Structure 1
Amino acid sequence: MEAIGGLLGLVILVACIWAILQVVKSGAEPVVKIIWVVAIIVLPVVGLIAWLLFGPRG
Structure 2
Amino acid sequence: MDRNSSSAVDRIDAAIARIETQIAARAAAGDALAHRHAALKARMAEAVAALDDVIARESAA
- Could you say which TM-score interval applies, normalised by the shorter chain? 0.3 to 0.5
Report the TM-score, using the length of structure 1 for normalisation. 0.46
Higher helix share: 2
Give the structure, 1 or 2, with the largest relative contact order (CA under 8 Å, sep 6 or more): 1
State which structure, 1 or 2, has the greater radius of gyration over its C-alpha atoms. Answer: 2
